[in-house]
Every structure is written in structure tokens, then in C-alpha cells.
Structure 1
């Protein structure tokens, strides 16, 4: 059955910015179910770990803080939050890119995609995508050490690596070189997309959590006169707030991955579609000259 959402095409900047929202509207059920099954459990654990991090000061005695138990608790919560956060982001990337890959496949009916269709790819690629993310983070970190700008440059050049790995089934090294090649001559274009998608993601998270911030402010302010009441009030409030904010930030990162997936196909069509057209034209010109 023909697909009702065209992905393999050249898109201008504005189209790419709006594409994630149209994509979610068109595929909300299948993509949402897949994220719910394969990503949300990891997001919940990451959110709980972060909430424990910010509530630790409210739950410990001064003696524990002075003895170093506080630092140990903070390190443990930070480490667990970071680990599960990275696992959640890797799972989200795997789900989104495999979903886009199925939608782009003209032999697949978009309306029949189910989580079980995505799971085999997520399961087989998860570890390698995690390693790719770690490698990109390491390369970016090294670049940032050298006056920050090299780190930003490298991160944008490699930002399509996970998409390339899923879409093209290439090996580890080829995924990096392929991303580097695709972004060449489109670095600023890609950088602009990433910045705007990050802003959208942050704004959506803040829009949902803003009412909670107001409630938290007045709840905490009302308990300032009684330290014990303030401790009992602010601890749970901060726990819920930071856990919710962390979880939503992961969920809304979906639009970033969708945009990058669309941009991958956009660059394929822009660079390689144009090259193919030029080669065909050269062949036609040669044939015409010979005749």
C-alpha cells in the first residue's frame, strides 16, 4: 500500500522545522506506543534518580552531611540518573529512527506499523547506538577542551551518525564518516535546525511545568516561617518537579530525533540525488555527442 507521508524528498529549512509536528500527528499511535513500551520505563527510572538527587539534602541529618554520606548519596544518584538517562536517549533514538525507516519504506503500509515491527531493530542496534553516543560524546568533549568551538563543530558534523547507522546498516566507522560527509557544506544549516529543535523541546517542557513552578513557589513560600514544615513541603515538591521536568525533556527530545531523521533524507536527496542527476545528464550528453 502506498505511504501517505513522503520522507525521501528535498525539504527547505521551514519544512524541516515543521516536519516533526506533522510526523507526530500522522503517526502518533504507532510511534507513541513504541515509545511507551520501549523508552518510557527507562525515562521513569531516570526521572526517579534525578528526583532523589535534589531531595537528598531534605532527607539527611546534618551529621550525615558532615560525615560525607551526603556526597556519596549525591554521587550515586547522579551516576544512576546519567546512566539511565543515556539508556533512555539511546532507546528513543533507536525507536524514532527505526520508525522513520519503516515509514520511508514504500513496501510498508504506514497504518499497519506496530511496536513489534520496531522492536527487532531496536534490540539489535541498541548496544551499537549506545557506543556511538559515547564515542560522539567523547569526541565532542575533547573538542570542547580546545576552546569549545571545535567541540560544537564536531558534534554537528557527527550528529547524523546514529541515523546513518540505522538507515543504512553500515558499520561503526562508516557511520561516522558518512555523517561527516553528509553534513559537509550543510554545517550551518544543520546547526540551525538543531538549535531551533532544542528550543522547541525546551519551550514545550517549560510550558507544561510552568504551572507546577508557580504552585511550588507559593507552597514553599508559605512554609518559610517553620523550617520543619518547609523541609516537609519542599522535599516532595522538588522531587516531583525535577522528576517531571527530566522525564518530559526526554520525551520532547523526540522532535529533535524526528527532525534529524528527516534531515538525513533531505541531505541524501540534496547531495546524492543531485549527483545522480548530473551523472545521468553527463551520460545523455555523451550519447548525444556520439550520435
Structure 2
């Protein structure tokens, strides 16, 4: 039987990527159960909000096509369409807010699962245990994510390079908050200390894991692109009504592709453990301290005298 993966150990680039998939494979059922149980409602809300948003966009596109084909190309028609697009700002804000909540809860869920897995001695935690952690860390991680998001946006505006440099550091800060139960100030300083002299390795691992997740998620977006082109080609009112269920189904399938973000989140945790082991060796010290205190595992029956 394959031994459960040890988190607290040093790894090179290939080992981090490989162990990401080993961990997901070994914990697939309990990990997905925790994810869909805790994040499922937000996942559904995101699918509904984005479906309504897409239906509104398709409807406006049909109106523009109809106006351009007839006599509605006047200033008043253009003003009306501009006003309607402006009315959609509320929908975009709602979609953005739900998305932020979903990504925050997802990040806490996966990192909490990993934290509990380590605490329990490489044993998968229950969904109830993960939920307790999610409730505990939610406000702290949400506030920290907003601050770090603003910092990252500022870095992107400043010639892009500062934003790229901050990208892996912001991820580590959030990982420290959950995996070490740390306040934001401590996690902020620790994130910079951990990544010193290891920026390229951490960035490379997160970039590759994100790229794999992104390419995999593209498969889920294909149905949505098909319905989008269909709605662009068919501009009748009947098609607007008949396409509503199809839009919801394809959007839901696309949203389900977000589950692949589990991959870079597991990679982020493994990068954190790799950095802490490189600098502190806490996992190695714990294993040394356990020598002579644990009984060897054996399938042999006890000796009888």
C-alpha cells in the first residue's frame, strides 16, 4: 500500500509538481467532498449570476443587430443601448463580489484541509473539521486578500514587473495565515523572509501549476464558446428564450472548471513547506525526535510464548 505523502520536507521543482498530483490523487475523494460541500453554494451562485449576465449580453447584442439592420441607428438608439450597458454595471459588480467570496472560501478550504492533514499525521480530515477552520479563518483571509489584491494591482500598474515579483509572495502570505494561524502583519513579514533566495523556484512552480490548471479549464469553456457564437449568429427573439437553459448549463460547466484551481493551491502549500524546511528544518527535527518513540508498522502477528 502506498504511504501517504509527507508534507514537511524539502523538494526540488520536479518533486513539488509531481507531489502536487500525488497528494490530490491520494486525497481525491475527501478533498473534493470538502470542496463541494463548503464551496458548492457559492459555486452555484456564481453560475446563476454569470448565466443571467451572459443572457443579458446576448439580448443586447441582438437588439444592436436589429437596430443596425433597420432604422434604429439614430443617436437615440445608441443612447438607449449605452444606457442598458450601463445598467449592467450592477450585475458585473455582483458577479465580481460572488467571485471574490468563492475564491476566498476555496483557498481557505484547500489550505485548511492541508493544515489538518498535517496536524493529524498525514490522515485525511473530515469535512466537518475543515468547515470549522473555514469559519475561523474566513474574515481574516478575506480582509488580507483584499489588501494583497490592491497591492498586487498597484504592482501591475507600476510597469508590470513589481506585480509579477509580488505574485508568489502574496500567495505565501495567505498560506502562512492558514497553515500557521498567523495574523496578517506576521504573515506579511514571514512571506518575504521565506521566499528570499527562493523566488524563482516558487514562482516557477506556481506558474506551471497555474498553467496546467488553466489549460485544463479551457476544456470546460468550449461549450460556452459554442453557445456564444450560436447566439451571435441567431438574432431572433425565439432563440433568446430557447437558449436560456443552454446558457445556464454551459456556464455551469465552465464554472466547474474552477475546481482545477485546487492544483495551484496544493502547489502553493508544498512550496510553503519546502521553504520552511529549507530555512528551519522543523519537519526533519520532528522526525528525529520521534526516533525510538514510535513502534514500527508491521503486518506480522504478535509473538506468543
TM-score (norm 2): 0.78
> Residue in 2 aligned with 1:216?
227
1:110 to 120, 123, 127: 123
| Structure 1: unaligned runs, 5 residues or longer | 278-291
Q: Which secondary structure does the structure 1 equivalent of 2:281 belong to?
A: helix
Superposition map of 1:107-256 within 5 A? 107-108=120-121, 110-111=123-124, 113-210=125-222, 212=223, 216=227, 219-220=230-231, 224=234, 227-232=236-241, 237-245=246-254, 247-256=255-264
Q: Which secondary structure does the structure 1 equivalent of 2:280 belong to?
A: helix
How many angstroms apart in 1 are the aligned matches of 2:230 and 2:154?
43
How many angstroms apart in 2 are the aligned matches of 1:109 and 1:13?
22
1:91 aligns with 2:102: no
Cα shift at 1:167 = 1.1
Task: Specify which structure has the higher proportion of helix.
Answer: 1
> Residue in 1 aligned with 2:298?
none
| CA 1:167–1:52: 2 relative to 1, 3 Å | same
Cα shift at 1:72 = 4.3
| Structure 2: unaligned runs, 5 residues or longer | 65-76, 286-305
How many angstroms apart in 1 are the aligned matches of 2:23 and 2:264?
12
Structure with the greater alpha carbon radius of gyration:
2
How many angstroms apart in 2 are the aligned matches of 1:217 and 1:56?
12
Cα shift at 1:40 = 1.8
Cα shift at 1:231 = 4.0
> Residue in 2 aligned with 1:280?
none
Superposition map of 1:8-47 within 5 A? 8-47=8-47
TM-score (norm 1): 0.82
How many angstroms apart in 2 are the aligned matches of 1:114 and 1:159?
25
How many angstroms apart in 2 are the aligned matches of 1:108 and 1:83?
37
Q: Which secondary structure does the structure 1 equivalent of 2:207 belong to?
A: helix
2:269 to 249, 261, 264: 261
Cα shift at 1:94 = 0.8
Cα offsets for 1:234-285 (capped at 9, x unmatched): 665455434432x1343111111111011110111112229x99xxxxxxxx
How many angstroms apart in 2 are the aligned matches of 1:109 and 1:184?
28
